[in-house]
Amino acid sequence: MRTYTTNKSDFIFTFFVYTVLTLLAVVTLLPFLQIVTLSMSSAEIVNSYGFHFIPTSFDFSGYRQVFHNDLIWTAYGNTILRTVLAVALTLVLTFLGAYPLSKKFLPHRTFWTGFVVLTMFFSGGMIPSYILVKELGLMNSIWSLVLPGAVSTFLLLIVRNFIHEIPEALEESAKMDGANDIYILWRIILPLSMPVLATVALYTGVYHWNAWFDSMLYIQDEKKQVLQLVLRHIVLDGDLAASGTETGQTNVNTESMKLATLIVSILPILCVYPFLQKYFVKGTLIGSIKG
């Protein structure tokens, strides 16, 4: 039987939970509301005192500046190109590697799995990887952004675990008809693996959309730079210069232009992530299964 006091304390607790979560959601969103508002405000409003969470008047000159900035659009193209290339390459390599590793009868399976998994726990680090890319002659090429991270051990294991769950009977009946392993992979495993491959594609896509450090290390040509790095030059270098880090750089970009660039760069992700989050959730959950 529920006692009165329990009901009362439960009511207070539930009220507390709703309050905390509402506050969390608001606090998470406020910084975004601020930059959206400032990006579409005139300089007077940007510099005026007070909160800027909801636009009071509209001035899109910041966005107009962004639209006329060729560097931003070249970088946009570069980012799209690297993302598409990397997703394609990652999908092919990950899928091809995951299928054999999912087979219990693969000779020395433990060794080959360990060969891949070991890299999760130990790596050469920043400098040896940098020297490798240099020695391979990939500097200033888009392949320096695509090849070094082409296979993620984590995603490979997710796909392997997924394929492992596909009933063997499906493959055996095809094998009786004389199909070889490559045919089975293409005609039977691939169609069934689409959900997990969507997860791989999305993880890889978001990673490459947001990646910038490799571009900072390997790409010298301004025309080949990715969007995030151009964003960094426009938004952060100006601010850091203001705080005294980088000297001698005159910053001609207005505040609203900086924030308009920021909005333009995150817009694709902002638009798609609410609809794609279930694939990411799935990825996290499959990945957490031991095996």
Q: Which of residues 186-245 bind other proteins (CB under 8 A)?
A: 206, 209-213, 217, 228-229, 231-232, 235-236, 239-240, 243-245
20 binds other proteins (CB under 8 A): yes
Task: Select the span of 31-39, 54-62, 69-77, 167-175 touching other proteins (CB under 8 A).
Answer: 31-39
Positive or negative, the CA dihedral 150, 154, 156, 158 is negative
265 binds other proteins (CB under 8 A): yes
58 binds other proteins (CB under 8 A): no
167 binds other proteins (CB under 8 A): no
Positive or negative, the CA dihedral 254, 260, 264, 270 is positive
Task: Select the span of 60-68, 129-137, 168-176, 190-198 touching other proteins (CB under 8 A).
Answer: 129-137
156 binds other proteins (CB under 8 A): yes
Kindly tell me which of 140 and 277 has the beta carbon lying closer to other proteins: 277
Find out whether 145 and 226 touch, Cβ atoms under 8 Å.
Answer: yes
For residues 9 and 11, give the distance between their C-alpha atoms in angstroms, rounded to a whole number: 5
Kindly tell me which of 47 and 250 has the beta carbon lying closer to other proteins: 47
Looking at residues 37 to 56 of the shown chain, list those that interact with other proteins (rule: CB under 8 A).
38, 46-47, 49-53
Kindly tell me which of 17 and 84 has the beta carbon lying closer to other proteins: 17
Q: Which member of 84, 182, 195, 249 binds other proteins (CB under 8 A)?
A: 182
Q: Which member of 96, 168, 170, 222 binds other proteins (CB under 8 A)?
A: 96
281 binds other proteins (CB under 8 A): yes
Q: Which member of 43, 126, 170, 190 binds other proteins (CB under 8 A)?
A: 126
163 binds other proteins (CB under 8 A): no
